[in-house]
Amino acid sequence: MPHAAPQRLAALLGDPVHHSLSPRIHNHWFARYRIPGIYLALRVAERDLAAALALLPRLGFLGFNVTMPHKQRALELVDRLDAVARRVGAVNTVLVMEDGALLGRNTDGEGFLASLKTARPAWRADAAPVVLLGAGGAARAIACALLDAGVPELRLVNRSRARAEALAADLADSRIRITSWRERSKALSGAGLLVNATSLGMHGCAELELDLDALPRAAVVADIVYAPRCTALLRRAQARGHPVVEGLGMLLYQAVPGFAHWGGVVPEVDERLWSLVAGGGDSGGNRG
Ligand SMILES: NC(=O)c1ccc[n+]([C@@H]2O[C@H](COP(=O)([O-])OP(=O)(O)OC[C@H]3O[C@@H](n4cnc5c(N)ncnc54)[C@H](OP(=O)(O)O)[C@@H]3O)[C@@H](O)[C@H]2O)c1
Q: How far is the CA of 264 from the centre of ligand 1 (A)?
A: 32
Closest atom of ligand 1 to CA, residue 201: 45
> Does residue 65's CB lie within 6 angstroms of at least one atom of ligand 1?
no
Where exactly does CATH 3.40.50.720 map onto the chain?
Answer: 109-249
Give the distance (Å) from ligand 1 centre to CA of residue 101.
Answer: 31
Question: pLDDT at position 1, please?
Answer: 56
Residue 182, pLDDT above cutoff 50 = yes
Q: Using one digit for the tens of pLDDT, what is the confidence trace for 150-175? A: 999 999 999 999 999 999 999 999 99
Rounded mean pLDDT of the chain?
94
Asked if the model's pLDDT at residue 179 lies above 90, the reply is: yes
Reported as a single tens digit per residue, the pLDDT across 237-257 is 999 999 999 999 999 999 999
Q: What is the pLDDT of residue 286?
A: 54
pLDDT at residue 270 is higher than 90: yes
Among protein residues, the one with the nearest Cα to ligand 1's atom 19 is: 136
User: What is the value of pTM for the model shown?
Assistant: 0.94
Residues carrying CATH 3.40.50.10860, the chain: 8-107+255-278
CATH of domain 109-249: 3.40.50.720
Which atom from ligand 1 is nearest to the alpha carbon of 164? 39
> What pLDDT sits at residue 288?
35
How far, in Å, from the CA of 254 to the mean position of ligand 1? 17
Give the dihedral sign, CA 185/189/194/197. negative
Q: What is the pLDDT of residue 282?
A: 53
Per-position DSSP letters for the chain, written without gaps between them: -PPPPPPEEEEEEESS-TT-SHHHHHHHHHHHTT--EEEEEEE--GGGHHHHHHHGGGGTEEEEEE-TT-TTHHHHHSSEE-HHHHHHT--SEEEE-TTS-EEEE--HHHHHHHHHHHH-TT--TTSS-EEEE--SHHHHHHHHHHHHHT-S-EEEEESSHHHHHHHHHHH--TTEEEEEGGGTTGGGTT-SEEEE-SSTTSTTSPPP---GGGS-TT-EEEE---SSSS-HHHHHHHHTT--EE-HHHHHHHHTHHHHHHHTSS-----HHHHHHHHTT--------
Check if 68 has its Cβ closer than 6 Å to any atom of ligand 1.
no
Catalytic site includes residue 117:
no
Which ligand 1 atom is at minimum distance from the Cα of 226?
1
**172 Rama class: left (phi>0) / alpha (psi -120 to 50) / beta:** left
Q: Which residue's CA lies nearest to atom 44 of ligand 1? A: 199
pLDDT bin (cut points 50, 70, 90) of residue 20 is very high
Q: What's the pLDDT band for 6 if we cut at 50, 70, 90? A: confident
Whether 222 is in the pocket of ligand 1, judged by its Cβ within 6 Å, is no
Quick: pLDDT tens for 34-66. Answer: 999 999 999 999 999 999 999 999 999 999 999
Whether domain 8-107+255-278 has CATH 3.40.640.10: the reply is: no
Which residue among the candidates 71, 87, 229, 261 is catalytic per the annotation? 71
Q: Ligand 1: does its nearest atom lie under 6 Å from the Cβ of 254?
A: yes
pLDDT in tens, 94-118: 999 999 999 999 999 999 999 999 9
